[in-house]
Amino acid sequence: MTLKEEILREKRKGAFPFWGYSISILSLFFGSFILIYGDYMHSLFSRLFDVIPDWTIALLLIASALIKLLGIYKKNKKVMRIGIVCLSAVWTAITAVYLVYSFGVGYPNPSFLFMGFIAISCYRVAKKGDFG
């Protein structure tokens, strides 16, 4: 095989979807954590989470992450797009809740920075356009 053929083969193969895997696996872990430790979100945000049970947020995170991972595995851009849009929406909502709680009704807590970083990472993957 010539060098030119090898370069073309590598170009077709594409880059490793580091951000897609990272966001999805982190979402799976955080969703599983919320699901295992029942009232985690409710204990932090009791005034904000009277309407939505914790397991709803956990299942949204887990389902969105699994959709994203399935799209990456199958190399299906439409499924990857659905997964990253769902993950972006869920992480944006979580960031907003943490931000409101940290500065509005609760005690100052820097965890909104972590949640915001994940939301921004979702936007990065979506803006890039390959959804990997």
Per the structure block, which two tokens stand in for 108?
């100052």
Query: What confidence score (pLDDT) does residue 5 get?
Result: 83
Query: What confidence score (pLDDT) does residue 131 get?
Result: 61
- Please give the model's pTM, rounded to 2 decimal places: 0.83
Q: Which residues contact 37 (CB under 8 A, 6 or more apart)?
A: none
- The values of phi and psi at residue 32, to 5°, are -65, -40
**Average pLDDT of the residues in 20-25:** 93
Query: What confidence score (pLDDT) does residue 121 get?
Result: 92
Query: What confidence score (pLDDT) does residue 38 get?
Result: 78
Q: What are the C-alpha distances in Å from 107 to residues 16, 79, 100?
A: 40, 39, 10
Q: What are the C-alpha distances in Å from 46 to residues 1, 29, 39, 98, 112?
A: 63, 22, 9, 12, 17
